[in-house]
Structure 1
């Protein structure tokens, strides 16, 4: 059985109302729409009653609707996420990047102009409210006949059911519908996991983080400037540039400083600097690395994103064109190796590290049928093999290429 769920209200973490409608496994309405004042309670009751019967929830977006439920303690096993599914169906038709919201998908069903997706709001740890699906008036405890919440709620629920039927039809018309259905189910499951991971958080030891920061950066500035180690490196950079005082954070000023010592560079990227023989280069490379730690995962980052021993970013399933996850705030997918020392499993638990190494180029090798790339993929370390063939054994250059 499938239950379509649509909520007018902006999720705020409190018990809010919403619309439910039961559907058959084929997506055909099996009963009337009904309003419930306590949506998390109703979902919890339905899940308990249907336990073991393959209940699947249908909603516009796990990021909005499941987050509201999960904050109330509801955890679900299966769903169909319209937004994630629409993105995959568009990509399978060569249209990745087109609007994928419920409003956009419903406009396609009706042959109407497709609205752009709303800009995702930057998540703030102290502000867990998410955007609403449409610009709607706030809903009360129950809708009054003929008023906004009733009209918009029924319209939203109807749009959801019709878009789901359209997505099922597009999936059935695909060259390999079984594989596409499995992909949609997996992506929807990933949407559930992303919400739960963000709410549960990553275990994070602030005491270890403090120790690592002081080892790398020295004491923080009492007046809000760079920490001691960055200040020292800045002075050494000035000495190496023979008295010039460029801002190490400004590529334009660094390029001018290099030019004045007779070195013309196209950029100040690390791979470019490593080709330069000058005493300032190792200082700049160290400065860049430590500056990233300070600005991206330093004391301010910890204050913003870590609370109660957990880091709480917002994970975004399928957030980039390659299909990889992304994060919106918190930088949890780019934590530098030194800072990872602070990620320590809770007592009685262990962290399992798994990495599908070099996945994208291996997929590219299979899709392109490029013989050289296939040979490199078969060699084990694909980047090392490519470096040996085409990049003068420079693995870093092969990876960037």
Structure 2
């Protein structure tokens, strides 16, 4: 497969390809890329997908493959599979610091871009050398390809947008909050709730949005509280509490997804957020703008497919425990997961009595909550699933020692922060000034909980990337025309995807989603018998998905 490296040079693009280098005016790049895509398989190599692909998509050009040097650099720099000396260069700090861009600009390239100070050709050579020298280049190569494909998916989802009915959203807000208020006034429902809270607490001037003001009012009413967190308020019994809890819930909706959100983020019937692949250290995605990855259920009814189209919504049941079974090669846990709810499978194996106990115990194993109810389940889980529980326990102990842990494909965990200082006491050095030995032990245990989950959450993110990459390719083959005329991804959240598709192709899309999930499992775990069952719904509104 041909690799073509694209480099910005002012208003021109330098193209490094096997047939020889050439220089193009920036305006001619979309036509050049389209021609090369139709000529045969090609992998585009560029500094950062967010700097190249949106403009190509705006010209109707889709690319099949790319290497995103920014994302790959971040993976390689932290991977224990890599000789870091092969990545060292004067520009390494520049690549470390390079950030994605989200600003919409009519020009192909932004002005004063720090990426222009970097050399993509040299960086690509260093990355290829580091990959070739790795003893795990197969795994690592799969991760780099999946990460880069994820960048293409993210740009395409922003370009296509999630169908969103502004009139429905407005109606939902009006039903919950009352008519849209003028200026910075509260909606009538919130004003009514504030009045109820003030009366019940005997605090006529209370501002419930001020934590300090609210705390003073609660303590003055005789309530034994030291903070105003939601969990704390849930425990209180007082006539003011129902109205206060309802106010807090609706005020959050108003702030996060109210009319200002609607004005800012919905245009021409589409909600367009900026998705950030690798935005979390585990490899999970983040989003920039609009809170796409925390969309509340109250407004999801506004996500409605176009006329004659449908949403295919699919999510994976118990993704992280299944990934743990696969990466640890724990046959007993894989058997519990086969063809059923994994937690119910644990009950069926006689490990615990109820599904709730199975879930609590497994989440405790994954996240380090091994005391209380979770701790009570751990001995039974360890006895039945020694390979799976042993893997996360080993990762926790490694983290406590300050070691790097890795995902299945080779993403490495960050080192503990500078204040951690875990080795000082063991080496007989002066005590760390940050606190007594107990504080350092607490920090070590906290870091161990992080590394315990890192290996599983990060590998689950790798499975999801492979799922997305394969699904993207399958969807392209199902229709004709431009990206928005075919079935296409419009949303992704860890273990859930939403595809916007012509209604007559919905069943084919559902099958593609399932086949892509099975393919992702084989890519990561080979023939090990762990399955990834999906809940798949074909709906007109996102809110109708189970």
Q: Normalising by structure 2, report the TM-score.
A: 0.57
SS at match of 1:4: strand
Q: Which residue of 1 aligns with 2:39?
A: 49
1:1-400 paired onto structure 2 within 5 Å: 1-8=2-9, 17-23=12-18, 31-37=20-26, 38-50=28-40, 54-93=41-80, 109-111=88-90, 114-115=93-94, 117=97, 123=103, 131=110, 134-135=113-114, 159-360=119-320, 378-380=342-344, 383-385=359-361
Q: Flag the 1:128–1:46 CA change in 2: closer, same or farther, 3 A.
A: closer
How many pairs align? 348
SS at match of 1:355: strand
- Distance in 2 (CA, whole Å) between partners of 1:319 and 1:387 is 23
Are the equivalent residues in 2 in contact too, given 1:204–1:309 (CA < 8 A)? yes
- Distance in 2 (CA, whole Å) between partners of 1:127 and 1:72 is 11
Are the equivalent residues in 1 in contact too, given 2:154–2:277 (CA < 8 A)? yes
- Distance in 2 (CA, whole Å) between partners of 1:296 and 1:49 is 46
Are the equivalent residues in 1 in contact too, given 2:6–2:46 (CA < 8 A)? yes
- Which stretch of structure 1 is more off in the superposition, 258-267 or 62-71? 258-267
Aligned-pair distance for 1:270?
A: 1.4
- Distance in 1 (CA, whole Å) between partners of 2:303 and 2:172 is 12
- Distance in 2 (CA, whole Å) between partners of 1:312 and 1:113 is 33
Are the equivalent residues in 1 in contact too, given 2:12–2:23 (CA < 8 A)? no
Deviations 1:70-96 (A, max 9, x none): 12211111000011111222232399x
Q: Flag the 1:113–1:311 CA change in 2: closer, same or farther, 3 A.
A: closer
Aligned-pair distance for 1:243?
A: 2.8
Aligned-pair distance for 1:178?
A: 0.9
Are the equivalent residues in 1 in contact too, given 2:164–2:302 (CA < 8 A)? yes
- Distance in 1 (CA, whole Å) between partners of 2:108 and 2:245 is 40
Aligned-pair distance for 1:390?
A: 5.2
- Which stretch of structure 1 is more off in the superposition, 197-206 or 240-249? 240-249
Aligned-pair distance for 1:287?
A: 1.4
Are the equivalent residues in 2 in contact too, given 1:85–1:184 (CA < 8 A)? yes
Aligned-pair distance for 1:276?
A: 1.6
Are the equivalent residues in 1 in contact too, given 2:50–2:100 (CA < 8 A)? no
Deviations 1:93-135 (A, max 9, x none): 399xxxxxxxxx99953246724625666647x9898745745
Structure 1, gaps ≥5 residues long:
10-15, 24-29, 96-104, 137-151, 394-400
Q: Flag the 1:127–1:365 CA change in 2: closer, same or farther, 3 A.
A: farther
Q: Flag the 1:81–1:328 CA change in 2: closer, same or farther, 3 A.
A: same
RMSD: 3.6
Q: Flag the 1:86–1:387 CA change in 2: closer, same or farther, 3 A.
A: closer
Aligned-pair distance for 1:341?
A: 0.2
Question: Between Structure 1 and Structure 2, which shows a larger proportion of helix residues?
Answer: 2
Aligned-pair distance for 1:220?
A: 1.6
SS at match of 2:45: strand
Aligned-pair distance for 1:340?
A: 0.4
Aligned-pair distance for 1:236?
A: 1.0
- Distance in 1 (CA, whole Å) between partners of 2:9 and 2:228 is 49
SS at match of 1:18: strand
Q: Flag the 1:119–1:81 CA change in 2: closer, same or farther, 3 A.
A: closer
Are the equivalent residues in 2 in contact too, given 1:318–1:324 (CA < 8 A)? yes
Aligned-pair distance for 1:334?
A: 1.3
Q: Which residue of 2 aligns with 1:144?
A: none
Are the equivalent residues in 1 in contact too, given 2:30–2:56 (CA < 8 A)? yes
Task: Point out which structure has higher relative CO (alpha carbons under 8 A, 6+ apart).
Answer: 2
SS at match of 2:314: coil
Q: Flag the 1:107–1:240 CA change in 2: closer, same or farther, 3 A.
A: farther
Structure 2, gaps ≥5 residues long:
345-354, 365-369, 375-452, 454-546
Q: Flag the 1:118–1:5 CA change in 2: closer, same or farther, 3 A.
A: closer
